[in-house]
Amino acid sequence: MAATKYTLASRVKLADGHTMPQIQLGLYMMTRSEARSAVTAALAEGYRGFDCAQMYHNEKEAGQALRESLESHGLTRADVFYTSKLAENRTSYDAVRASIRQSVAACGLGYIDLFLLHSPYGGPAARWASWRAVEDAIGEGEVKSGGVSNYGPQHVEELVNHPGLKVKPVVNQIESHPFNTRTDIRETCTKHGIVVEAYAPLVRGMRMRHPVVVQLAKKHGCTPAQLLVRWSLQHGMVPLPKSVKRARMAENADVNGFELSADDLAKLDALDEHLVTDWDPTDAE
Ligand SMILES: NC(=O)c1ccc[n+]([C@@H]2O[C@H](COP(=O)([O-])OP(=O)(O)OC[C@H]3O[C@@H](n4cnc5c(N)ncnc54)[C@H](OP(=O)(O)O)[C@@H]3O)[C@@H](O)[C@H]2O)c1
């Protein structure tokens, strides 16, 4: 059987009817100038999805690079998918609405394709006020789709079961890779039709030499990074590999020509050590 193909042109359908690229470039830990050059290079490489955030302090440069490069690739705004995230949940609805407007203005793209609450921190009242602001930003056309990030199963349930909910979250962006699989969160999201984006899909480079990763990469004639990206994809997630290097951007998206068997996936799943590469807000109050 031929391997399932996942390319930079592949898109996944969200529960609200929009679609988004199946492999996207992460922009975390990029300086402003790195973000500008990485976005330009990634666009030339074929990337169409870009994962930014207020906390990354490079929204302006990412948006500028996109705007300046679209035309030379024969693309329009609608051909690219830009995400940003709210730095901090607030109980003040007005403060969050203003913050979303600032993100839209900073990128200069006219609207944001996907806006996420970056974490569940702040408690139930701040989470809810912030979500209402996302709903209204969608209603007013500033944002196309809304979602959350670092939400544990309990936060997802709290939001989708809220009696005042008008717009369901369509994405939960979480840390997920073989060393921290988070099947609990993924199952909850699947139950509610929420697409899971996998952050730190390359384990931030921390497990590239793990013997099982090396052995399976050798078996499939791929690199460890390609193996890890393929793991996310075959588990139905949207990986956001980050690189400032064009050759690595190409490598990370060149994941066809091999397919992980159920046995390979099980071997990788068994590596789970609950490794947290950055932060873990999923059990926040
Ligand atoms: N929502 C959240 O709380 C949250 C948290 C963390 C991350 N994220 C998102 O997820 C994205 C990805 O996560 P991440 O940036 O933390 O980690 P990652 O994508 O797992 O790993 C990035 C690291 O791997 C290196 N790398 C890239 N391609 C490689 C390759 N082919 N071979 C070897 N090393 C390679 C990069 O270095 P070079 O750049 O030098 O190539 C960088 O050091 C972020 O950029 C961000 O958009 C979200």
Per-residue pLDDT tens digits for 239-251: 999 999 999 999 9
Q: Look at residue 55 and tell me whether its pLDDT is greater than 70.
A: yes
CA–centroid distance, residue 167 to ligand 1 (Å): 30
The CA 205 to ligand 1 mean position distance, Å, reads 8
Q: For residue 211, with 0-12 CB atoms within 10 Å meaning exposed, 13-18 middle and 19 or more buried, which class applies?
A: exposed
Mean pLDDT of 125-138: 98
pLDDT value for 3: 81
b/e per residue 119-135 (b: at least 16 CB within 10 A): bbebeeebbbbbbbbbb
The answer as to whether 35 is a domain residue is yes
Q: Is 278 in the pocket of ligand 1 (CB under 6 A)?
A: yes
Closest CA to 32 of 58, 53, 67, 66: 58
205 in a structural domain: yes
pLDDT of 68 > 90? The answer is yes
Residue 81 lies in a domain: yes
How many domains does one find in the chain? 1
The per-residue pLDDT for 145 is: 99
Mean pLDDT score of the chain, rounded to an integer? 98
Residue 124 belongs to domain with CATH number: 3.20.20.100
Instruction: Give nearest CA residue, ligand 1 atom 37.
Output: 243
Confirm or reject: Cβ of 246 under 6 Å from ligand 1. no
Percent of the chain with pLDDT over 90: 98
Q: Give me the helix-helix angle, 246-253 and 224-234, nearest 10°.
A: 50
**Can you give the residue range of the structural domain that contains 154?**
11-276
Residue 220, in any domain of the structure: yes
Q: Is the CB of 34 under 6 A from ligand 1?
A: no
For atom 5 of ligand 1, the residue with the nearest CA is 199
